[in-house]
Structure 1
Amino acid sequence: MNPCPECKAPLYDHPDYTQWCPACDWNLQPDAEQNQAQNIFEYYYLKLSEKLGLELFQVLKTQNLANITHLGKLSTGVRLFSIGVIFVYLSLILTGLFCLWLFRGQVVGSLIGLMFLGFAFLATPKRQPPPYAGQTVLDATNLPMFYSLLQLCATALNTPQPDGVIFTPEFNASVSIYQKKRYLFIGLPLWSVLNTEEKLALLGHEIGHLAHNDPMQQRLPDFAMNILFRTGDAICPDNLAPHYEGNLFYEDKMIQSFAEILLIPFNWLLALIAHGFWGLGHLLLRWLWADSQRAEYRTDLNSLRLASLSACLTGFEKFTLEPEIHEIARQRIRKKQTEKPGSLFEETLTHWQNMPSSEHERRRRILEKEKHRVDSTHPTTAFRMEMLKFQAEYIQRQELPLIN
C-alpha cells in the first residue's frame, strides 16, 4: 500500500475507487460540495443549523421524542408576530385604495395611493404552481397494490394517506400538500436501489411528514415569512456602486457613472430597508427553527416503526449513490446501451453490492461529517443517524407485509 502524504499511514488504494487514508481521512471526499443556499431563506436556515444544530442534538438525543406532543402548535408570540406582518401588508392595500378614492382626480394623492399599492404588490407572495405541474399523478386505480401498502403504512403510523403518487427522476423523495390534497413524490432512481426494508423506512419517513407538521409549513407563519423575504428581495438593489455594460462612448460612460453616483445614497437606503425586512424574517425563522428540527427528527422515528435500525442507516448510506447512477447513465448513453433501459438501476445496485468494504467505510465517514445534509432544511445526516440509534429503544416496530 502507498503511504498517506499527510500521516504516512497505509492508504486504502483500490483501482476503481477513491484512494483515501483511514487514519487521518486524507482525500476522504475529494469532490466535496457544501449545501448551497438557493435564496435568503435557505441562507438564514443553514446559518442557524450550523450555529445551533449540535446544541439542539445534544439536548434531544436523551429524550423520548415520540412523547413530544406540542409539535405543530404555534406559540402565541409567533402567531401575534405573523398576524402583525399580515395586518401591515393588508393595511398597505387598504391605504392605497383609500387614497385613490379620497384623492380621486388629484395627481399627488393618486400617486401616493399607487405608491402604497406598489409596495403591497412587491410584498405579495408569488402564486406557486402545483407541485406536480408537468408530471403524471398516479392514483389508486393506477397503482392498486402500492396504494394498499401506503394505506397499511398510514394506518400503522396513524397518519393520513397520500392522495396521489408521482414518480420523478430525482434521487430523493418528498411529500407536498396542495389545496388540501397530499402528494407523495418518489425518485425512481433512489427507490430502485433500496431493498425491501429500506423502502419501508423511506415510506415511513415521508408519510410521517403528513402527521408531524413542520411548523414552518403552516400557512400563517409561512405567509408572513414570504411577505418579509419577498419584500426584501424586491427592494434591495442589485448593485450599490456605479457600473456599466456594453460599448459606450466616453461621454455616455461619464453621464451614466455620474447618474449612478447620485443614486448611491438611495441604493444604500434601499439595501438597509431590505436587510430590515430580512432581519424580521430571520427573527420569525429563529422562533420556528428548533420545532422544525424536532419535527424532522421525530419524522425519522417513523422509519424505525416500519423497518429495522440497520435498514434505516443503510438507506441513508445509499444516498451517496447519486453520482454513481448519473455516471452509469452517461456511460450507457455513450455506449448506446438502450436495449435494456430497466437494467440501469440493477447495474447501480450491483455496483453498490460489489463495493469493497473500504469504500463502504469511506461513504459512512462522509455521512458522519457534520455538514453533510440531504438539503438545507434537514438536520445534518450524521445527527439524524445518531438520533435513530439513541431513539431505537423507545420505538416499537410494526410488522407489515413485504413489498416487491
Structure 2
Amino acid sequence: MNRDHQTCPRCSAGLAGHPPEPPWCPACEWNLARYDRFAVASEWGNRQLDRLAHRVAFGLDGLTFRRLSGAPDARRGGRAGRGLLLVLCALVAALGPAALLGGGWLIAAGPGATPYLGLALVLLAVVLRPRLRRGRPDWFWEVPREAAPAFYALLERTAAATGAPMPAVVGFSATVNASAGHWGRYRYLDIGLPLWAALPAQPRVALLAHEFGHFVNHDVRDRRLVATARRTLATLADTVGRTLLRVFGPFALPVVLPLNAALALLLVLGQRDGQRAEYLADRLAADAAGGPAVGALLTLLLVGEELIPALRAIRGRAARPEDWRTAGVQALRNGGDLRLREQRSLRTEASLLATHPPVGRRLRMAAAHPAGRAPAVVLGEAEAERIDAELAPWYDRLRARAAEAAYI
C-alpha cells in the first residue's frame, strides 16, 4: 500500500475508509477483505481466530455469490454440506434418548456404583429434553384475518405468486426486521412494523415475498431436527462443559473442546446453507415484486440503523405510517455514499455465523435479476393506504412502544 494511504496500489484510484478502519479501493475493491477489529465484533474470543474466521467467511461469501449468481435454480445447491449437517444433527439429537435408555439400563442392571453413573445419564437426558414453545411470544402482535381483510388478500396473492402456503399465524413486532418459520407445527410470519411502515408500496410486496420464500426454499435452519441438535450441543457446551471445567479444571478440556468444536461446526454448516436460502428467497421476491422493489428493500436494510434516529429527528416518536416513510427517506439521505456502504457491508457482515449474506452481496444478486420482467403482484398506493388504515390498532401499539423506547 502507498505510504500516503490515498491511492490504490493496484489501480491507482482513490481509497475509501476513515481511520482506524483499513482503507479499500472502491474501484477494484483491493483490501476490502481485510479484517477490521474495530467494526467486526469478536465471535470466537480470540483475535487470531476472529481474523482467520473472517478471512474464511469473506472467501466463502464470494464463492457462494459467484456460484448462485449464474445458477437458474439454487434449491438443489449445497447438497453435500446440507447432508453433512443433517447427519451431524441426527447424531446429536440422539444423545438425549441414548442417555435416557443407557442410564435406565445401568440403574436397573448395573452392579456396585454403576447405578450412580446411570442416574447421572438420566439427569443428563432430562437436561437435554426437547422444549416445546408454548403460546405466542410477548413481542408478537397477532393480526386476525377478520380485522385486516385487505392485508390478508395481499398475503394470499403473494403466497400464490411464490408457491408458498399461507402461515397459520401472522403478526407484527416492533423491530426493523422480519422473519418466517415454524412454532411447533404452525407456520408463522412476523413482520417488523417499523420496516413495513417505512417501505413504499411495492417493496412491501418484496418483503412479504422474501419471507414466504422461506416456506419453499428448503431452509434447513427451521427444521426441528436442526433446532434440537443446536439446543442439545449448546446445552452440553455451556452447562455440562462449564460444570466439568469447574470440577476437573484443565483435565476436562479433552471433553469440552470437542463439544465446542462440534457446536461451531453445526452452526457454521447451518448458517452457510442458510445463506443459500436467503439468496433464493430474494430471487422469489424479485419474481413476485420485481427486481427494483427488492433493490429498494435491501437498500433500506443497508441503512436500517439510521431509521429510528431519523424518526426521532423528524417527528419525535409519533410512529404514524407517514412518519416512518418520511424517516425511511431521511435514513437513505443520512446513509451517505450508498455504494461505499454496500462495499463496506461485504467486510463488516462477513461471518461464519451470520444468518444472512452481507446486504451488499444481496444487492448485487438482485441487480443481476433479469430486467423487464413484470412483477406478479402489484400493490398500488390506494391499496397500501387501505391496508394501513386496517392496521391502525397495531400502529397504536407501535406508537406506545416507541414512547417507551422498548425496541431501541
1:236 and 2:227 aligned? no
Whole-angstrom distance in 1 between the partners of 2:129 and 2:250: 23
Residue of structure 2 equivalent to 1:312: 294
Question: Does the 8 A contact of 2:236 with 2:259 survive in 1?
Answer: yes
Structure 1, residues 93-131: CA drift from partner, whole Å, max 9, x if none?
A: 11212223335xx88343222111233234345554556
Partner of residue 297 from structure 1, selected from 258, 262, 279 = 279
1:351 maps to amino acid: Q
What amino acid is aligned across from residue 102 of structure 1 in structure 2? A
- The one of 338, 342, 360 equivalent to 1:382 is 360
Aligned residue among 237, 241, 256 for 1:274: 256
TM-score normalised to the size of structure 2?
Answer: 0.72
How far does residue 291 in structure 1 lie from its aligned partner after superposition?
3.4
- Do 1:125 and 1:230's aligned partners in 2 also have CA atoms closer than 8 Å? no
Cα distance in 2, alignment partners of residues 394 and 292 from structure 1:
29
Change (3 A) 1:303 1:361: farther
Following the alignment from structure 1 to structure 2, what is the Cα–Cα distance between the partners of residues 69 and 28? 43
Letter of the 2:15 counterpart: C
| Aligned-partner Cα distance in 2 for 1:394–1:64 | 17
2:192 & 2:19 partners in 1: Cα distance?
Answer: 27
2:13 is the counterpart of 1:34: no
Query: Is 1:65–2:73 an aligned residue pair?
Result: yes
> Residue 10 of structure 2 aligns with which residue?
none
- State the distance in 2 between where 1:113 and 1:62 align: 55
Of the three residues 106, 109, 116, the one matched with 2:121 is 116
Q: Does 1:93 find its partner at 2:100? A: yes
Where do residues 258-273 of structure 1 align in structure 2 (5 Å cutoff)? 266-273=248-255
Deviations 1:180-223 (A, max 9, x none): 22221111211111111211111111111111131232222332
Among 216, 219, 226, the residue aligned to 1:214:
219
Aligned to 2:109: 102
TM-score by length of 1: 0.72
Distance across 2 between alignment mates of 1:363 and 1:206: 25
Task: Report deviation, 1:233.
Answer: 1.4
Larger radius of gyration: 1
Q: Which residue of 2 aligns with 1:187?
A: 192
Answer yes or no: is the 8 Å Cα contact 1:28–1:366 preserved in 2.
Answer: no
Q: In the alignment, residue 371 of structure 1 is paired with which amino acid? A: R
1:325 deviates by 3.4
Matches of residues 1-400 of structure 1 in structure 2 within 5 Å? 7=6, 23-27=14-18, 33-34=39-40, 37=43, 49-65=57-73, 68-69=75-76, 77-102=84-109, 108-124=113-129, 126-128=131-133, 130=135, 132-237=137-242, 266-285=248-267, 287-328=269-310, 330=312, 341-342=319-320, 344-352=323-331, 355=333, 362-369=337-344, 370-373=346-349, 376-392=354-370, 397-400=375-378
Cα RMSD (Å): 3.9
How far did residue 300 of structure 1 move?
A: 0.7
Structure 2: segments with no counterpart, 5+ residues: 8-12, 22-35, 385-408
Separation of aligned partners in 1, 2:301 and 2:176: 8
Structure 1 residue 315, shift from structure 2 partner: 1.6
Letter of the 1:181 partner, please give it. Answer: Y
Shift of 1:38: 10
Distance 1:127 1:199 in 2: 32
The amino acid that maps onto 2:101 is: L
Gap change, CA 1:183 and 1:386, over 3 Å in 2: same
Q: Is the contact between residue 132 and residue 184 of structure 2 (CA under 8 Å) also seen in structure 1?
A: no
Shift of 1:134: 4.9
- Contact 1:225–1:281 (CA under 8 A) maintained in structure 2: yes
SS at 2:116's partner residue? Answer: helix
Return the alpha-carbon distance in structure 1 between the equivalents of residues 80 and 102 of structure 2.
Answer: 33
SS at match of 1:175: strand
Alpha-carbon distance between aligned partners in 1 of 2:40 and 2:81, rounded to the nearest angstrom:
32
- Give how far 1:145 is off: 0.7
After superposing the two structures, state which structure 1 stretch, 291-300 or 362-371, moved more.
362-371
Aligned partners of 2:65, 2:254: CA distance in 1, in Å?
35
Counterpart amino acid of residue 343 in structure 2: E
Percent of aligned positions that are identical: 20
Matched residue SS, 2:337: helix
Q: Is 89-98 or 150-159 further displaced after alignment?
A: 89-98
Deviation at 1:6, TM superposition (A): 5.8
The worse-fitting range, judged by mean Cα deviation, of 321-330 and 192-201 is 321-330
Q: Secondary structure at the match of 1:177?
A: strand
Q: Which amino acid is 1:56 matched to?
A: T
User: 5+ residue gaps in structure 1?
Assistant: 9-21, 241-259
- How far apart in 2 are the matches of 1:117 and 1:47? 42
SS at match of 2:18: coil
How much does 1:351 deviate?
Answer: 2.3
Distance 1:202 1:332 in 2: 25
User: Alpha carbons of 1:225 and 1:349: their partners in 2 closer, same or farther (altered >3 Å)?
Assistant: closer
| SS at structure 2 position matched to 1:387 | helix
